[in-house]
A and B are shown apart, each in its own frame.
Chain A
Amino acid sequence: MRLRNHRNYAQLDLSPGPGVNVFIGANGQGKTNLLEAVAMLALSSSPRARRELELVGPVAPMARIEAEVESGGITAELAITLTVEGDRARRVIEVDGVRRRAFDLPGRFRVTLFWPDDLGLVKAGPELRRRFLNQMLVQIQPGYARALAGLKRVLEQRNSLLKRIAAGEEGGDVLEVWNQELVQLGGEVATARSAAVLELQPDAARYHAEIAGGERLEIRYEGPPQDLAEAVHNSLAEDLRRGSTTVGPHHDDLRVLLDGQEARAYSSQGQQRTAVVSLKLAEAALVARRTGERPVLLLDDVLSELDAERRAALLRQVAGEGQVIITSVEAGPFPPELIASAMVWTVHEGTIEACG
């Protein structure tokens, strides 16, 4: 993997090992930036940057992330280049030197990302839970990334049209075609999410019961109405009043129940975190099952946030087969046998060195 001017990495060449890789460094040295770069190659965009401009470091008006990845016996050269143009950054994605659209990148290799943001997965708003499903699905379901990008665009156009109709700037006769596209793409997204949640459920419940002494975890997909076309049709008056689309997968949620109770409202922070760890482990298991290959596990500084039992449960899975990249402020939370079998690196001010 090579980074050029990605955030605080002026220049980095790195060859992580096939097993567990531990990156240790103080805060602000570039640990998360490294994981972000790996995640971008799997997802095509940064899971945390609000604007791509943020990703371009101070050395030049251009940033580049490159990696050789191997999946299912096929190697591919992936590259993302960001070029500053005025107050925005233009992104170019290449696979084996050929330019590709953003939604064609995911699926070349897969990651399961777990970072401190995710600890709020149960507690936070539904947006984070939709992101959880999206990040997984773009990597394993052909066409999902395209449908999701299309849905976003349809919503922008439809919402804009609703406002124009309400303001009398446009008649209502064009709305029907946007409804059709909303129903089509929304249906694709909802079907994929619904199937994925059903598939996540048994693994998530099993992991949770193991860590939490038998506590029963249930997850339920709260999607749009079965008959999306009719629901979109019926919501027209409300949509016009609000100037936005009230029905569709952009309002989806994933409900998490512990022993039959809404975890968001009734569970302790510890129980919620157990549920998060279980969901993340179930995600990795689902990706492995669907693709026949374990995803690269990216764990950003979450171990120190977990208590001993949850940490042990996570590390038990981690120590198995597959590539893992873990960052941490200190070596403290790692069992000695894990460190002994891992490649350990130190991160300091945008440089990375092998350690021991």
Chain B
Amino acid sequence: MPQLPEPLERLIQELSRLPGIGPKTAQRLAFHLLRTDSQRASSLAHAIEDVKARIGYCERCYNIAEGSLCWICLSTRRDATLLCVVESALDVLAIERTAEFGGLYFVLQGVISPIDGIGPEQIHVPQLLERVRSEGVAEVIVATDADIEGEATALYLQRVLEPLGTKVTRPAHGLPVGGDLEYADELTLARAMSGRGTF
């Protein structure tokens, strides 16, 4: 491949570090940015700088936050006795979109994964325990993913939370709304059957 000018090469390098972006896509994006007018380009650069300068993590729940607390922890209308534990801030957004949950969150920012050197301390479990202990949380909903690491994390949290006398629950697995029964995979269907409810 011919040698590209250094700034362009550097941009491609940086872009290809982003998740889901391979070398080809990085190249395409870089050439697109090259063609964009300079106002647009610097607006993108500033947006990136701003987000790093102004957005941090909530001191209480590790959700993303513009100040020391996130907009959910700042709200006075949330039920502080109900706590939902999720893997990432994206999960908070997903649950918030449902408008179904009125409690508070705790964002682990990861899952237990020894391969990646991530244990309970890295996902803020000591802080979670402290919070449950000091704030009188009645129920903790452990909403980690249903994959191997998510399940392990949920099992671990159950083990350390239950001795504190709080109720520990896990979201139900079930059929997708509007989904055809015959197209559900076996495990989902099996869990939906065993976790069935009355009308």
Instruction: Say whether B151 contacts A181, CB under 8 Å.
Output: yes
Instruction: Say whether A160 contacts B22, CB under 8 Å.
Output: no
Known: A157-B148, A157-B149. A180 touches B114 (CB 8 A): no
Residue from B115, B117, B185 within 8 A of A156 (CB atoms): B115
A154 contacts B by Cβ under 8 Å? yes
The residue of chain B having its C-beta at the shortest distance from the C-beta of A157 within the complex is: B114
The minimal Cβ–Cβ distance linking B197 to chain A, given in whole angstroms, is 23
B120 contacts A by Cβ under 8 Å? yes
Known: A174-B119, A181-B148. A157 touches B113 (CB 8 A): yes
Instruction: Say whether A85 contacts B187, CB under 8 Å.
Output: no
A142-150, A275-283, A334-342 - interface stretch: A142-150
The residue of chain A having its C-beta at the shortest distance from the C-beta of B186 within the complex is: A142
Residues A102-149 near B (CB distance < 8 A): 104, 142-143, 146
A164 contacts B by Cβ under 8 Å? yes
State A181–B119 Cα separation when bound (angstroms). Answer: 16
Per the CB 8 Å criterion, the residue count for chain B at the interface is: 21
Instruction: Say whether B23 contacts A157, CB under 8 Å.
Output: no
A-B contact count (CB 8 A): 53
Known: A143-B186, A143-B187. A181 touches B152 (CB 8 A): yes
Instruction: Say whether A174 contacts B148, CB under 8 Å.
Output: no
Chain B interface mostly: helix
Residue from B117, B155, B190 within 8 A of A177 (CB atoms): B155
Instruction: Say whether B186 contacts A177, CB under 8 Å.
Output: no
B residues within 8 A CB of A157?
Answer: 113-115, 148-149, 152
Instruction: Say whether A174 contacts B120, CB under 8 Å.
Output: yes
B112 contacts A by Cβ under 8 Å? yes
State A161–B118 Cα separation when bound (angstroms). Answer: 10
A153 contacts B by Cβ under 8 Å? yes
The minimal Cβ–Cβ distance linking A328 to chain B, given in whole angstroms, is 38
A345 contacts B by Cβ under 8 Å? no
B159 contacts A by Cβ under 8 Å? yes
B residues within 8 A CB of A176?
Answer: 156, 159
A residues within 8 A CB of B159?
Answer: 176-177
Instruction: Say whether B156 contacts A174, CB under 8 Å.
Output: yes
Residue from A86, A143, A153, A174 within 8 A of B112 (CB atoms): A174
Which among A85, A150, A153, A177 has the highest number of chain B CB atoms within 10 Å?
A177
Contact with A along B152-190 (1 / 0, CB 8 A): 110110010000000000000000000000000111001
Instruction: Say whether B115 contacts A160, CB under 8 Å.
Output: yes
Known: A143-B187, A174-B112. A153 touches B148 (CB 8 A): yes
Instruction: Say whether A104 contacts B185, CB under 8 Å.
Output: yes
B residues within 8 A CB of A169?
Answer: 117
A170 contacts B by Cβ under 8 Å? yes
B residues within 8 A CB of A142?
Answer: 186
Instruction: Say whether B148 contacts A180, CB under 8 Å.
Output: no
The minimal Cβ–Cβ distance linking A153 to chain B, given in whole angstroms, is 4
Known: A104-B185, A174-B120, A177-B155. A164 touches B114 (CB 8 A): yes
Known: A157-B114, A174-B112, A176-B159. A86 touches B23 (CB 8 A): yes
Known: A157-B152, A174-B156, A177-B152. A85 touches B22 (CB 8 A): yes
B residues within 8 A CB of A146?
Answer: 187
10 contacts between A and B (CB under 8 A): A86-B23, A142-B186, A153-B148, A156-B115, A157-B113, A157-B148, A160-B115, A170-B119, A173-B120, A177-B152
A143-B190, A160-B114, A173-B120 known; 16 new pairs, CB 8 Å cut-off, are A104-B185, A150-B148, A153-B149, A154-B148, A157-B114, A157-B148, A160-B115, A161-B114, A170-B114, A174-B112, A174-B120, A174-B152, A177-B112, A177-B153, A178-B152, A181-B148
